[in-house]
Amino acid sequence: MVIDTHCHLDVLSGQVLNDQLNPADLYLTMGTHAEDWPTLIQLCRKYPNIYAAIGLHPWYVSGEYGNELEILQDFLTKYKVTAIGEIGLDFAPDYVDLRNHQLDAFECQLRFALEYSLPVSLHVYKAHNEMIALLKQYPVKGVVHSLGSSVQIAREYLNLGLKFGVNAVVVKENARRYHELVKTYGLESIVLETDSPNITLPGKMVSDLADIYVVVEAVSRITGTTPEEVVKLTNANANQIFHFLEE
Ligand SMILES: [Zn+2]
């Protein structure tokens, strides 16, 4: 069993999902905005190995975000979910205009995480200072998904008790920064993810949930451990944060 701690299964068609799901693996599928939350609740009811996170992604923080956060709170009260995600901050040129709304929506969702005792799955891009400042204020448990920062910044997240999510980017030969993070902090600091369908293996046009096994091999090479050890330790980290096996 491998635990995929960050994927977007609602985006896959029913047929593709059925073809790709491995009954032996666990999947934590992410929400991005109110429209996809009902589908995620349905998916995790339908499949025993799919778990749901719901949240408002920084790309989707529109003028209506106050309304969406009210709906989010309503969902958190009514339904059992595993985490709040995908949430965070993204100050890339396309999204930096939403900066203040993003900060407000993110802080509100961190408050929900503490109030409902839920871990988080975090998206961060060009916003590490702001994110670290908020995480110091709101001591949540969780994962920084697809982290590609310097080792110094990663240390700050680890000091706050978070782990970081490693996906197929690490398979690329030139992804030096990602290799360095895995090599420096090792298996005790990471969890695995596909971010399906957003990330593909080098040379591939489409992603597959089974790509996670190629990520296992890459992490095994970088850390000089066996694939079995990679799976065992990263699963233990994922369970410690998301409590999959206690439900
Ligand atoms: Zn994602």
Backbone angles phi, psi at 27, to 5 degrees: -130, 130
Interval between CA 195 and ligand 1 midpoint (Å): 5
Q: Token pair for residue 229?
A: 């050890």
Which pLDDT belongs to residue 64?
87
Query: Tell me, what's the pLDDT at 247?
Result: 52
Q: How far is the centre of ligand 1, averaged over its atoms, from the C-alpha of 193 (Å)?
A: 9
Q: Please tell me the pTM assigned to this model.
A: 0.96
pLDDT for 202 equals: 94
For residue 214, what pLDDT is reported? 98
Going from the Cα of 7 to the center of ligand 1, the distance in angstroms, rounded, reads 6
How far, in Å, CA of 95 to CA of 97, rounded?
5
Cα 125 to ligand 1 centre (Å)? 12
Per-residue confidence (pLDDT) for residue 63, from 0 to 100: 85
pLDDT of 179 reads: 97
Residue 18 C-alpha from the chain's centroid: 22
Amino acid at 240: Q
27 token code pair: 């999947």
120 C-alpha to ligand 1 centroid (Å): 12
Distance 6 CA to ligand 1 centre (A): 6
Q: Could you tell me the mean pLDDT of each successive run of 10 residues in the chain, 247 residues long?
A: 98 94 97 97 96 98 94 97 98 95 98 98 98 98 97 98 98 96 98 97 95 98 98 98 84
Q: What DSSP assignment string belongs to 173-236? A: TT-HHHHHHHHHH-GGGEEE---TTS---TT-SS--TTHHHHHHHHHHHHHTS-HHHHHHHHHH
- The total of structural domains in the chain comes to 1
| Residue 180's CATH number | 3.20.20.140
Q: What is the C-alpha to C-alpha distance for residues 122 and 17, in angstroms, rounded to an integer?
A: 24
Domain range for 78 is 3-246
The H-or-E segment that residue 88 falls in is strand 83-90
Q: From ligand 1's centre to the CA of 231, what distance in Å?
A: 21
Structure token digits, residue 105: 């929506």
